[in-house]
Amino acid sequence: MTGSIWNLAWRESRTARRRLLLYMSSISLGVAALVAIDSFSANIIQSVKDQSRALMGGDISFNSSKPIPPAVDSLFDSLSRHGVAFARVTTFPSMAVVPRTSGTRFSQVRGVTDNYPFYGKITTEPAGRWKLLQQGPYAIVDPSLLTTLDAKVGDTLKLGFGTFTIIASVADVPGAAGIAEMLGPRIFIPARYIAETQLLVFGSTADRTVLARIPAGTDPDKFVKPIKTRLESQQVRVRTVTQSEMQTADAIENLSDFIAIVGLVALLLGGIGVASGVRAFVARKIDTVAVLRCLGASSGQVLTIYVVQAAAMGLVGAAAGVLLGVLIQFALPHVLTGFLPIDVSVSLVPSAIVEGLAVGGWIALVFALRPLLALRNVSPLQTLRRDTDADVLRMRWTDAPRIAVNVGLVASVIGIALARARTTKQAFAMSAATGMAILALVASAALLSWAARKGLRKRWPYVMRQGVANLYRPGNQTRAVILALGFGAFLVSTLYLVQHNILHRFTVAAQESRGNVVFFDVQQDQGAGLDSLIRAGGHQIVQTAPVVTMRIAAINGKRVSDMLPVQRDQRGRAGWALRREFRSTYRDRPAASETIVAGKWFSDSSLRAPKDTGEISMEEGVAKELNVKLGDVIVWNVQGVEIPTRITSLRKVVWTRFEPNFFVVFAPPILKGAPNQLVLLAQVRDERQVALLQRAVVNRFPNVSSIDLSAIKRTVDRIVERVSLAIRFMALFSLAVAIPVLFSAVSATRRARVREGVLLKTLGATRGQIARILLAEYSLLGLLGGLTGMVLSVAGGWAVVRYIFNMPFAPPLLPIAGIALVIVALTLLIGLLAGRDVFRETPIAALRDA
Amino acid sequence: MLIASDVTKEYMSGEQKLAVLRDVSFTIPQGAFVAIVGPSGSGKTTLLGLLAGLDTPTRGTVVLDGADLGALSENDRARLRGEKVGFVFQTFQLIPTLTALENVQVPLELRGSDGAVERARELIERVGLRDRGHHFPMQLSGGEQQRVAVARAFANSPRILFADEPTGNLDHATGQRIFELLQSLNSESGSTIVLVTHDSTLASRASRIIRLLDGAIVEDTGAPPSVPA
């Protein structure tokens, strides 16, 4: 018996398959989003796993901003007798000069020992030069350095007081260069020639990394465990390959959280589209079902026939979505080139594909079930006497299967949210927000119907009255259209709001910066000379700040060396902040890029003369990491001298503003006299002037580095551009989801509409009058749907920006209004397209059909 | 045997109760050919719906082969229809997405009977559409569609067949042929036929006529003679 029903279901779907598939395609784009996102992030995570050794260059990295202490060196010596190999990389900034072209460029120099790297391959152009690097005073540089300095292989390169020969450019280093190169191109030199540059003087910025390769089969985490505390007490940071994997994965989590929500919402929107599409489908099937009932079909058999059809088409729709998702997955790396910190190798992810099929098929089925249930109630009597579609399909609220399907629907949404969100709380918040959005839309649809009924005035022209009356008459489409429209508008506009808020922050902050060239590593005795050199060129010095390096010795009387390191996510004082080297400054006024958020700026007395316990102002983020508050006492170790201070204010710092910013600012009298360096921020007119000034400075002060901030800003702009492109793509994508959904929503009541329109035509209504009736109805629907969607999106955007990205939120009202207008226009267009059938059909055909 | 006793059907029309049928009673023996006639609005179609178990009466009972239709659930009535009842409609009511042959198969497939295809082919030949079996309804003329509908009605060898204005949408000659088809199938299979029509020539060829007016029987040519008061 079941076999025959399946046959019947298959045959009966014959002409309806295309239409049903069209409705089910609403789900496709949502599935495509899910599959693309899941597959691509799986690819990223796998790539991170595959490449983390190559990215790091070893199994374990030991890292310090000071020369490696002798005690640690002897520890390494003893380990190397047990089969552990070590390679060293010293990274420091320097101005690179090519005398032949007299070009200068801020660069990152990496002095490496001959066994670097242990993992991954560095290839060069011309090929095979990497192994020659150690044979003399040679340099291998990023290609961008050659371009900007107009240099070529074979040229002489000056770094500080050292002279090197460029023997090759880098063709490929593990990990994509994009962001790494932002601060300055890389220059690899042999470690033993670092001293010749004379750049590593007291207080200069440098990073010493020792990479270890441990015997195969040894777990890096277990290996470092016994020595970790000892090393950290010597201010040597230890990181293993597994830790760095986790960090990279964490870094992409925020973004993927956001995209996961978008995927879920797109899927739900698709579900709504399926529901209204299937409603239209069900209306067309009333007559067939009535005949089947006459011929002895039970309600269960009828339901089986159409559920089988819907499930099959839902699966096909989901499969199409999977295919599209995979295509997007393969396209993504091209869009994101230079933005991701690794080379992502793209491959099919079976679990994502199966999940996309299952989730998409299931959502399509659950959303289709709701309207399909109405077919059970179609009476065989309809063969003799046909009621209106709306009357036939009416269901009672108390209908048990209907309640069960509703519960199943809610459970499915929560279930999928639970499976996708990182925390249960987030999943429930997401589900609740979605539920609230739907409720708000249903409420506003009810409001519109109510207002249309109450507001209708007899004196209005007929077409207007008819159009408005369509909003509340029996079997109206107000709720279906408002739901589809509002949800679509909500999705598109939320994406826009989030993009706007995240990116706006970067660009505005960068533009506000008053200077564009920063000079650092300036020794105390060079300050005056540099100052006059800059001014002599007619440039302006915006800010000069002394920099004093220091570490925390004690907090509230407790020595740092006695404090237990605190793990991530635990309450307490973060290890990195306790052990880091602080580069602090002193000044008598807050800088333009910072605002006091707690306490008061330094008192007059503390500005005049040093006290026993000096006053400091701390950046709020680092204060939180250190778990300190106003009034706490911190003792600093400033190059051997202990200086007690009290926190008297907390500052909020706009870090994205390209200016020298500091975690800790001291009241001047305490630090005056401490050995320091200087940072200068200058405003220089154009690119050529910047190059000239940089060259002049490097000639006179080879140890002083300078960064052209406008160049960095351009790079940031490029990255921001990429991200906006990606988000705009998603917004467009959601709009693409919304269109078929809207079509489905409109087609649900199409038959009734055509019949009525044709009747009006028979009674003498002109095309124009019918068009105006539709116009009145759809513009009201579009306006209210768009408006509700906008209000919802402001709430949704605020929640996403505030809680996922932890940023302040400001809605840009004008563009949002623009989106609303586009939505209204789209609704009108779709409404009038749907109305085309009214014009096309002859009165006689429609009346005979009715 | 079909027995209607005191069948009354009322609808709510707004606030008002509207009786479409009032205390209708009759008995139709197996194998009879009965025509129900009456003007528009006299309750013919409502009565047909009640007799066929498509609807249930407000009061009174309809008993088909010993089964009280009003006491059965909607699904039990569907099963009963599948086993014992055939239908022919004025508007043919073929399923547009199925071919002629497949339309005839439907009642058999719903019951899960074996040999549905053979039986359907046999019937399609019997109604003279051997070459049209693979056509869709919209590719057939009205008369052909109605012949498919007749074949479908006889697919499950019904005990009783209801025909609602079966010739109403057809020209006179085609209508005649459909009527003759119904008659010959009635005599071959021994099914009861209940025909609703307002074509009096057609009705006159039935073995019994029940005439309705305003929801009540005003004439029944087959009823036992009433005893004059």
Q: Span A657-667, mean pLDDT?
A: 83
CA distance A344 to chain B (A): 50
Name residues whose C-beta falls within 8 Å of residue A822's C-beta, 6 or more positions apart in sequence. Answer: none
Q: What are phi and psi of B33, to 5 degrees?
A: -125, 100
Over the stretch A79-132, which tens digit does the pLDDT of each residue have? 888 889 999 999 888 889 899 988 888 888 999 998 888 888 888 989 889 989
Asked whether the predicted pLDDT for residue A842 surpasses 80, the reply is: no
Q: What is the pLDDT of residues A587-607, one digit of tens each?
A: 888 887 788 888 888 888 877
Indicate the pLDDT class of residue A256, thresholds 50, 70 and 90. low
In single-letter form, the type of residue at position B170 comes to L
pLDDT for A567 equals 47
> For A108, which DSSP code?
E
User: If DSSP codes are grouped into helix, strand and coil, which group holds residue B165?
Assistant: coil
- Residue B180, min C-alpha distance to chain A (Å): 23
For the stretch A696-719, pLDDT in tens is 888 888 888 888 777 777 766 776
Spatial CB neighbours of A647, under 8 Å, sequence gap ≥ 6: A599, A616, A617, A618, A623, A628, A629, A630, A631, A632, A634
Do A297 and B110 make contact, defined as CB atoms within 8 angstroms? yes
Residue A468: name the closest of A825, A834, A775, A751 by CA: A775
- Smallest Cβ–Cβ distance between B89 and the set A288, A293, A383 belongs to A383
Residue A8 and residue B106: Cβ atoms within 8 Å? yes
- Identify the pLDDT of residue B96: 85
User: CB–CB of B55 and A385 under 8 A?
Assistant: no
What kind and span of H or E run contains A709?
Answer: helix A709-747
What are residue A643's DSSP bridge partners?
A636
Mutate to test the interface with A, among B106, B150, B160, B197 (most CBs of A within 10 A): B106
Chain B closest-CA separation from residue A383 CA (Å):
7
- Nearest CA to A488 out of A221, A268, A169 is that of A268
Portion of chain A with pLDDT greater than 90, in percent: 14
User: What local confidence, expressed as pLDDT, does residue B229 receive?
Assistant: 44
Give the full edge-to-edge strand order of the sheet including B160-164. B85-88, B160-164, B192-196, B33-37, B208-213, B216-220
Print pLDDT tens along chain B (229 aa): 899 999 999 988 778 888 899 999 999 999 999 999 998 889 998 999 999 988 899 999 999 999 999 999 888 898 898 889 999 988 888 888 889 999 999 888 888 878 888 999 999 998 889 999 999 998 999 889 999 999 999 988 899 999 998 988 888 888 888 888 888 888 888 899 999 988 888 888 888 999 999 999 999 987 665 544 4
Q: Do B109 and A8 touch (CB under 8 A)?
A: yes
Query: Using CA atoms, how far apart are residues A673 and A662, in angstroms rounded to an integer?
Result: 19
Q: Nearest CA to CA, how far is A293 from chain B (Å)?
A: 6
Task: Note the pLDDT of residue A342.
Answer: 67
Mean pLDDT, residues A230-249 taken together: 77
**What is the spatial distance between Cα A558 and Cα A550, in angstroms, rounded to a whole number?**
17
pLDDT greater at residue A133 or residue A767: A133
Distance from CA of B98 to the nearest CA of A (A): 6
Closest B-chain CA to A849: B91
* Contact criterion met (CB below 8 Å) for B62 and B50: yes
> Maximum Cα–Cα distance for chain A, whole Å?
104
pLDDT digits (tens, 9 = 90+) for A6-46: 888 888 888 778 878 877 878 888 888 888 888 887 887 77
Pairwise pLDDT comparison (A770 vs A576), residue with the higher score: A770
Q: Across chain A, what does the average pLDDT equal?
A: 82
The closest alpha carbon to B28, from B185, B163, B191, belongs to: B191
- The reported pLDDT for the residue numbered A850 is 42
pLDDT band at residue A2, thresholds of 50, 70 and 90? Answer: low
Give the per-residue pLDDT at A541: 87
- Whether residue A11 and residue B97 make contact (CB cut-off 8 A), yes or no, is yes
* pLDDT of A796 over the 90 cut: no
d(CA A307, CA A301): 10
DSSP state for residue A609 in the 8-state scheme: S
pLDDT score of A176 more than 60: no
Whether residues A4 and B82 touch (CB distance < 8 A) is answered with no
Q: What per-residue string of b and e applies to A759-774 under the rule 16 or more CB within 10 Å gives b? A: ebbeeebeeebbbbbb
Candidate from B75, B80, B98 with C-beta closest to A11: B98
pLDDT tens digits for range A325-367 = 999 888 877 776 666 666 777 888 898 899 999 999 999 999 9
If residue A724 lies in a helix (H) or strand (E), which one and from where to where? Answer: helix A709-747
Q: Which of A30, A494, A445 is nearest to A272 (CA)?
A: A30
pLDDT at residue A569, as a whole number: 46
| Residue of A294, A378, A391 to mutate, testing the B interface (most B Cβ within 10 Å of its Cβ) | A294
Residue A705's DSSP bridge partners are A520
What is the pLDDT at residue A36? 86
Q: How far apart are CA B107 and CA B164, in angstroms?
A: 19
Cis peptide upstream of residue A117 (ω within 30 degrees of 0): yes
* Per-window interface: B 91-130 vs A, CB < 8 A: 93-98, 102, 106-107, 109-112, 116
Q: What is the pTM of this model?
A: 0.71
**Would you tell me how many other CB atoms lie within 10 Å of the CB of residue A424?**
10
Nearest chain A residue (CA) to B49 = A381
Q: Which residues of A38-74 are buried (b: 16+ CB within 10 A; e: fewer)?
A: bbbbbbbbebbeebbbbbbbbbbbbbbeeebeeebee
Q: Could you give the CA distance from residue A467 to residue A470 in angstroms, rounded to a whole number? A: 5
- In degrees, rounded to 5, the angle at the alpha carbon of residue A743 between the alpha carbons of residues A742 and A747 is 120
Q: What angle do CA B92, B97, B99 make, to 5 degrees?
A: 75
A292: left (phi over 0), alpha (psi -120 to 50) or beta: alpha
Confidence of residue A253 (pLDDT cuts 50, 70, 90): low
Chain A neighbors of B80, CB-CB under 8 A: 296
Do the Cβ atoms of B143 and B177 come closer than 8 Å? yes
- Span A631-655, mean pLDDT? 88
In the predicted structure, residue A459 carries a pLDDT above the cut 80: yes
DSSP state for residue B29 in the 8-state scheme? -
Cα angle value A562/A563/A564 (rounded, 5°) = 120
Q: Does the pLDDT at position A250 exceed 70?
A: no
N residues, chain B: 229
Please report the sign of the dihedral spanned by the C-alpha atoms of residue A53, residue A54, residue A58, residue A63.
Answer: negative
Q: Strand A614-619 to strand A641-653: parallel, antiparallel, or no bridges (unpaired)?
A: parallel
Angle between helices A17-56 and A299-335 (to 10 degrees): 40
Task: From chain B, pick out residues whose CB is under 8 angstroms from the CB of A296.
Answer: 78-83, 85, 107, 110-111, 156
Cβ within 8 Å of A, B 10-29: none
Say if the Cβ atoms of A300 and B156 lie within 8 Å.
Answer: no
* Mean pLDDT (whole number) for A312-321: 91
**Lowest mean per-residue pLDDT among A193-207, A231-245, A743-757, A786-800:** A743-757
CB contact under 8 A, B55 and A379: yes
The residue among A391 and A663 whose pLDDT is bigger is A663
- The complex's ipTM works out to 0.85
